[in-house]
Amino acid sequence: MKAVQYKYRNLLGEMARHGDNLKTLSAKLGMSYQTLSARLQGKRNFELPEIYTLLNLYNQPLEVLFGDGLGRKDLKSATDN
């Protein structure tokens, strides 16, 4: 079985800092665990209301939560489709 690879490392870091996991964050966002997992893997895009909730929940700017953590901003992939 292949290990799951999540795309948004900074978002995962904020989740950990705030004591969230996929189960708790999916409940806060009003979505299923599977839907959140697909979004974090980049298989599905986050919707604007979800992004807004994450920005407020973790009190971080968009480029921090959805950037690649290497100084480059990967905002396009967070908001595509």
Instruction: Write the pLDDT tens digit of every residue in 24-78.
Output: 999 999 999 999 999 999 999 999 999 999 999 999 999 999 986 554 444 455 5
Domains of the chain, residue spans: 9-79
41 secondary structure, DSSP code: T
Instruction: Kindly state the tokens that stand for 22.
Output: 């996929």
Cα(26)–Cα(3) distance, integer angstroms: 20
- Residue 20 Ramachandran class (φ > 0 left, ψ -120 to 50 alpha, else beta): beta
pTM: 0.79
Instruction: Kindly state the tokens that stand for 56.
Output: 């407020």
64 secondary structure, DSSP code: H
State the pLDDT at residue 73. Answer: 47
Q: Is the pLDDT of residue 79 over 60?
A: no
Instruction: Kindly state the tokens that stand for 21.
Output: 């996991």
The CATH classification of domain 9-79, taken from the options 3.40.50.150, 1.10.3720.10, 1.10.260.40, 1.10.10.10: 1.10.260.40
